Chain A
Amino acid sequence: QKEVEQNSGPLSVPEGAIASLNCTYSDRGSQSFFWYRQYSGKSPELIMFIYSNGDKEDGRFTAQLNKASQYVSLLIRDSQPSDSATYLCAVNLLAGSARQLTFGSGTQLTVLP
């Protein structure tokens, strides 16, 4: 059983729309949650992290965490073609230990002009 699940997509949205990327995790004790973006042929880069239930906003990006439902999402408002990439969800069982970071397999997003 995968510990971190993402819909592999591809997810297509028109330019200017809201893209919603979802991630579920199996370990109820998980403490910290991360979204990385990976452009084709490039390495992942961190977009956002969230530790507490609720929403966290950073520009056009909003991370949402619901620990009771074991669910974390990333919303991208006013999607741009430059947002087209694979988005990786990562979950850590222990906030202070990078050893426990587990990645999902990623969701491929395409923003259509």
Chain B
Amino acid sequence: DVKVTQSSRYLVKRTGEKVFLECVQDMDHENMFWYRQDPGLGLRLIYFSYDVKMKEKGDIPEGYSVSREKKERFSLILESASTNQTSMYLCASSSNFAGANVLTFGAGSRLTVL
């Protein structure tokens, strides 16, 4: 089974702190994604990567950056956390061979910014 592992299940940070959310997948998937999920708003794409060192902005990239130095790892960075970034963050991956839209999600990281 494909496994997508997110490093932290729950985080509490203060306004202005730098936050790193790590995601690792073990099935050699080309595509990796970061979404945030908020009540009533569904899943919104923050950033997407289709290859090592490649990234594309999603629908809500402001306030976020990403890094993909290795194929299996995709990191989301909040340079200066703000309270409106309190949310559930979901990492996902997919294979171009099996279907790029067939996403496998990690367990999620619930971030609270005080």
A residues apposed to B, CB below 8 Å:
4, 8, 32, 34, 36, 42-46, 49, 88, 90, 92, 95-99, 101, 103-106
Considering only CB atoms and an 8 Å cut-off, how many residues of chain B contact the other chain? 26
Is residue B74 within 8 Å, beta carbon to beta carbon, of the partner chain? no
User: Which residues of chain B are near A45, meaning CB under 8 Å?
Assistant: 105
- Which residue of A8, A43, A44, A98 is within 8 Å of B40 (Cβ)? A8
User: Which residues of chain B are near A105, meaning CB under 8 Å?
Assistant: 40-42
Question: Are the CB atoms of A106 and B101 closer together than 8 Å?
Answer: no
Q: CA A92 – CA B103 in complex, angstroms?
A: 12
Is residue B45 within 8 Å, beta carbon to beta carbon, of the partner chain? yes
User: Which residues of chain A are near B56, meaning CB under 8 Å?
Assistant: 99
Question: Are the CB atoms of A101 and B108 closer together than 8 Å?
Answer: no
Q: Which residue of chain A has its CB nearest to the CB of B59?
A: A102
